[in-house]
A = this chain, B = another copy of it.
Amino acid sequence: MKENIFIAQPADGEAINSITARAGVFSEEEVSCVAEIWDEYLVHGAEGCGYHFLVFREGGRALGFASYGFRDLTDGVYDLFWIATDSETRRGGVGRKLLSATEAEIRKLGGRIVIAETSGTAPYDGTRKFYESMGYRADAVIKDFYRANDDLFIYVKRL
Contacts and interface: CB of A to CB of B under 8 A. Distances in A.
A16 interface: no
By size class, the interface of chain A is 20 to 34
Contacts of A29: 73
A75 B139 contact: no
A72 interface: yes
B33 A72 contact: yes
A88 to B, nearest CB: 26
Interface stretch (A5-13, A58-66, A93-101, A142-150): A142-150
Contact of A146 (B73, B140, B154, B156): B73
Interface of A: 27, 29-30, 33, 72-77, 112-113, 115, 139-148, 154, 156, 158
